[in-house]
Amino acid sequence: MRLVLLGAPGSGKGTQGSVLAAHFGVPHVSSGELLRDHVATDTELGRQVRAYLERGDLVPDELVLDVVGDAIVAASSYGGYVLDGFPRTLAQAQRAFDRAARAGETADAVIYLDVPDDVARARLGLREQSDRTDDADESAVERRLEVFHAETLPLLGFYRERDVLVPVDAVQPPAAVTAAILESLEALDTR
């Protein structure tokens, strides 16, 4: 199973990514975690990424592709992946789709975890006690939501055109969101 999770910051991509990866027995590849690991270990890439994360801006495509590309290739050898946090822009989606299509590895489904901004803000506010520096500042949270609306929401049309988009109401409790995702994936298999 090859799944991509899309959603606003705070929509539950990390939570659902972990659960779905365990359910399908494939690796969970989180671009955010990969990038934060580079920041935490103070790699050269991490130092470049830190400033973008602290402002709430998207990390440039080249940096993300360097990190995520290798992880996706490695995950594919396990029979699939659950990818969260990538792609975040139409340019990333087009590049990733073209590359995956050439390899016969396009996503089976793109799950859109739909939450209103007020729910995303409330969830991100709960993260302020964690080590997530990108969620600790209110202006950075607002910037992340603005960037999501401007850069990531256009991906819905891109994936809808490819008939792989699965919208899910992600305001529900996590277990209910997982159940809705699995039910939607079963419906895709019977089409």
Residue-number span of the structural domain to which 140 is assigned: 2-185
pTM: 0.84
Does 34 map to a domain?
yes
- Domain CATH for 71: 3.40.50.300
At residue 52, the pLDDT reads: 86
Is the distance from CB of 96 to CB of 87 less than 8 angstroms?
A: yes
Is the distance from CB of 122 to CB of 187 less than 8 angstroms?
A: no
**pLDDT above 60: residue 135:** no
Per-residue pLDDT reduced to its tens digit, 162-188 = 999 999 999 999 999 999 999 999 988
Higher-confidence position of 45 and 178: 178
Which residue of the set 55, 132, 143, 162 is catalytic?
A: 132
Number of structural domains the chain divides into: 1
Q: Is 132 a catalytic residue?
A: yes
Does 154 map to a domain?
yes
Does 191 map to a domain?
no
The mean predicted confidence, pLDDT, of the chain is 87
Rounded Cα–Cα distance for residues 60 and 156 (Å): 20
How many CB atoms sit inside 10 A of residue 22's CB? 11
At residue 174, the pLDDT reads: 96
Does 129 map to a domain?
yes
Per-residue pLDDT reduced to its tens digit, 114-133 = 999 999 999 988 765 555 55
HEC secondary structure over 40-65: HCCCHHHHHHHHHHHHCCCCCHHHHH
Per-residue pLDDT reduced to its tens digit, 59-103 = 888 788 777 777 877 787 888 999 998 898 898 898 888 878 887
Beta bridge partners of residue 6, listed in sequence order: 112
* Residue 80 DSSP symbol: -
Which residue of the set 121, 127, 143, 162 is catalytic?
A: 127
Q: Is 102 a catalytic residue?
A: no
Does 175 map to a domain?
yes
Helix axes 44-55, 138-147, angle to 10 degrees: 90
Does 190 map to a domain?
no
Higher-confidence position of 190 and 153: 153
Which residue of the set 2, 36, 50, 88 is catalytic?
A: 88
Q: Is 127 a catalytic residue?
A: yes
Higher-confidence position of 138 and 14: 14
